[in-house]
Amino acid sequence: MKRLDLFGLLKKDMNFIEEELYRSIDSTEPLINDTSLHLLKAGGKRLRPVFVLLGGKFGEYDLDKLKRIAVPLELIHSASLVHDDVIDDAEMRRGQPTVKSKWDNRVAMYTGDYIYARALSIAAGLPNPDIHRVLSKALVQMSIGEMEQIRDFFNVDQSVRNYLLRIRRKTALLIAVSCQLGAMAAGARESVNSLLYSYGYNVGMAFQIQDDLLDLCGTEKKIGKPPGSDMRQGNITLPVIYALEQPELRADLLAEIRRIQDGDGQGDARKAVDMIKKSEGIAKAEILADRYINKALNALDLLPDVKTKKTLRDIAHFVTRRSY
């Protein structure tokens, strides 16, 4: 999956962060090197480091300090993905075979453990105790979210609220603290940190809703995995929950979901995907994503008028318009 298009200084700094990412996972154990490199090379948008650097623009921008937040946050994100792939039994991610499919579940688990430990080891170099507090709280919430994911597999009776709580922990929190910690590391004012947190939180919510929409409406080429993967894995997302609320659809859709569930992840989700795409679920999820983006833009309006605001605004608009 492509990295974000970035211009000027940020592009140069992000290339530096990219190098630091590769350097950070280097070890003397060949297997760990291979799996970690494979994971990093599969790419990703590097959204969290971008947000750290942009957050840093609201204070004294110091790349050397910011890298010690940006690199760990991307590593933590990568570690959580490699563990998620074990849970979801996912063969492909970002158009590449996953660590669990190229090696096995055990190697994937320890790869995640290793990358996670590396992340913490880099973050440990930061002297500001508030940063450790914010980061570690987010990590606890994220890990609770992981377990909620298992709990909610194939749970067709979950509410929209339940879904939102789950993606909050799964995605939004880490993006929120990326923005916030970038500003904190740059010594920005408390009010600035909070507004950036709010911006990141709302962008993160919209980002995950859009991700879940793309899993239904995207093309395999663009999203790097077959559409309907979430359904096959039992991950009941927002458009599905909305579609299930339509009385004339509910019974048929429930039957399809049960059929997929009985297929143990191998079932064909195309019929269910078609039903949802024809339902109101897509439009309603898009509306909710837009509402989160508007909240993010509102937080942005209250921030000091630095040039970076335009980039953050562009990213917010990109989030719900992207097709990958």
Which residues of the chain form contacts with its own copies (CB under 8 A)? 27-29, 31-32, 83, 86-87, 105-107, 109-114, 116-118, 120-121, 123-125, 127, 129, 132-133, 135-137, 139-140, 142-144, 146-148, 150-151
Q: Kindly provide the b/e burial profile for residues 190-217, where b requires at least 16 CB atoms within 10 angstroms of the residue's own CB.
A: eebbebbbbbbbbbbbbbbbbbbbbbbb
User: Quick one: 171 or 202, whose CB is closer to its own copies?
Assistant: 171
Q: Provide, rounded to whole angstroms, the least separation between the CB of residue 252 and its own copies.
A: 30
User: Quick one: 166 or 295, whose CB is closer to its own copies?
Assistant: 166
Q: Provide, rounded to whole angstroms, the least separation between the CB of residue 79 and its own copies.
A: 9
Cα dihedral 94→97→99→105 (10° resolution): 120
Q: Provide, rounded to whole angstroms, the least separation between the CB of residue 127 and its own copies.
A: 5
User: Quick one: 83 or 94, whose CB is closer to its own copies?
Assistant: 83
Q: What is the 3-state secondary structure (H, E, C) of 251-312?
A: HHHHHHHHHHHHCCCCCCCHHHHHHHHHCCHHHHHHHHHHHHHHHHHHHHHCCCCCCHHHHH
Q: Provide, rounded to whole angstroms, the least separation between the CB of residue 126 and its own copies.
A: 8
User: Quick one: 15 or 121, whose CB is closer to its own copies?
Assistant: 121
Q: Provide, rounded to whole angstroms, the least separation between the CB of residue 218 and its own copies.
A: 26
User: Quick one: 96 or 128, whose CB is closer to its own copies?
Assistant: 128
Reading phi first (left if > 0) and then psi (alpha if -120 to 50, else beta), residue 235 is in beta
Q: Provide, rounded to whole angstroms, the least separation between the CB of residue 91 and its own copies.
A: 16
* SS3 of residue 93 by DSSP: strand
Cα dihedral 39→212→252→234 (10° resolution): 40
Tokens of 84: 């998620």
Query: What span, in angstroms and rounded, lies between the C-alpha atoms of 200 and 180?
Result: 8
Whether the Cβ atoms of residue 43 and residue 94 lie closer than 8 Å to each other? yes
User: Quick one: 68 or 295, whose CB is closer to its own copies?
Assistant: 68
Q: Provide, rounded to whole angstroms, the least separation between the CB of residue 25 and its own copies.
A: 10
- Helical residues (DSSP H) of the chain, grouped into ranges: 8-24, 30-41, 47-56, 63-88, 99-102, 105-123, 129-152, 160-167, 173-185, 190-217, 220-223, 229-233, 238-244, 247-262, 270-278, 281-301, 308-321
Q: Provide, rounded to whole angstroms, the least separation between the CB of residue 29 and its own copies.
A: 5
Q: Which of 100, 96, 6 is nearest to 43 (CA)?
A: 96
